[in-house]
Structure 1
Amino acid sequence: MRTLGLDVGERRVGVAVSDPMGWTAQGIEVIDRARTPDWMARVGELVRQYEVEAIVVGLPRNMNGTIGPRGEACQAAAEELRRRFSLPVHLWDERLSTTAVERTLISGDVSRKKRKRVIDQMAASWILQGFLDAQRRIPDHEHSSNK
């Protein structure tokens, strides 16, 4: 089952997709919202192309856990995606994802120009990978009942 991960920003939407087994996330593209005003139509093309069965949208929260205007916009986008594609859409806490990706790129000595081009795509991968990892965690009591 493939899952699509989205880092929805005001200017760009980073997109990642899982492998068919749902283990790893790979960044696939960045949708420029100025050039693609109906960016969800492009998401629909990717949903069909990759046979996606679920979508994860990064939910930016404030450090105290509250949701501000950006988070509310992501919640609205998630609801619209759910309505348009009739797929499960999960919101995933993305606090610090962009910061972590930027630090990784800086430590890898990636130029500022190149960082700007890939950061949204990598943030989408980071968000999706966090979600995928959480889905594989099984509480210990479930392990013991299967023995």
Structure 2
Amino acid sequence: MPETTQIPQRIASVMGFDFGTRRIGISIGQRLIGSATALSPIKARDGVPDWEQLEKVIEEWQPDAFVTGLPLNMDGTPSEMSRRAAKFARRLEGRFHRPSYTHDERLTSYEAKRQVMEESGYQNFGDYSVDGLAACLILESWMSEHPKAGENE
């Protein structure tokens, strides 16, 4: 379910989310350089975030838009989790009045776990670093599909 929407060039700073039922990974990225940095995840209760805590993060980083990973089934069909992630993305837009996009995130959590294991040998995936890394991978993938033109272009 790739996006065909043209993303406005004014969107420079983007906040990415790896939606989960217990934790939501967060990253912040800049479209001009196409790179993202992991932030501390926020806790969720059955997929409902601590909206007050999330508001503080958004106020601190002031992103122009949001990107939420959409965990589709391997055949590209929606899953229950992808429906919940899409609902979260819509709520972000409604609450914070910024554009909110979704992006196919199949295998990003597996890739994040692989990277953590490769870099540190650490295998306790309850570690928050996996959530933030997955959010970075989602956001960087989205930014590579929607690059921001440079000032001289």
> TM-score normalised to the size of structure 2?
0.80
| Number of residue-to-residue matches in the alignment | 137
Could you say what the CA RMSD is over the residues aligned between the two structures, in angstroms? Answer: 2.2
Corresponding residue of 2:22:
11
**Does 2:72 correspond to 1:61?**
yes
Structure 2 unmatched runs, 5+: 1-11
CA separation of 1:45 and 1:103: change in aligned 2, threshold 3 A:
same
Q: Is the 8 A contact 1:3 1:22 kept in 2?
A: no
Contact 1:7 1:121 (C-alpha < 8 Å) held by counterparts: yes
Deviates more, 1:3-12 or 1:103-112: 103-112
Question: What is the aligned partner in structure 1 of residue 3 from structure 2?
Answer: none
- Using the TM superposition, give the Cα deviation of residue 45 of structure 1 relative to its aligned residue in structure 2, in angstroms: 1.7
| Whole-angstrom distance in 2 between the partners of 1:114 and 1:73 | 22
Unaligned runs of 5+ in 1: 139-145
1:22–1:85 distance in 2 versus 1, CA, 3 Å: farther
Structure with the bigger percentage of helix: 1
The alignment status of 1:123 with 2:134, answered yes or no, reads: yes
| Aligned counterpart, 1:132 | 143
Name the structure 2 match of 1:106: 117
Which one has a bigger Cα radius of gyration?
Answer: 1
Q: Say if 2:105 is the partner of 1:94.
A: yes
Counterpart of 2:124 in 1: which secondary structure? helix
What does 1:35-46 align with in structure 2 at a 5 Å threshold? 38-46=49-57
Give the equivalent residue in structure 1 for 2:58.
47
Instruction: Return closer, same or farther for 1:137/1:64 CA change in 2, 3 Å cut-off.
Output: farther
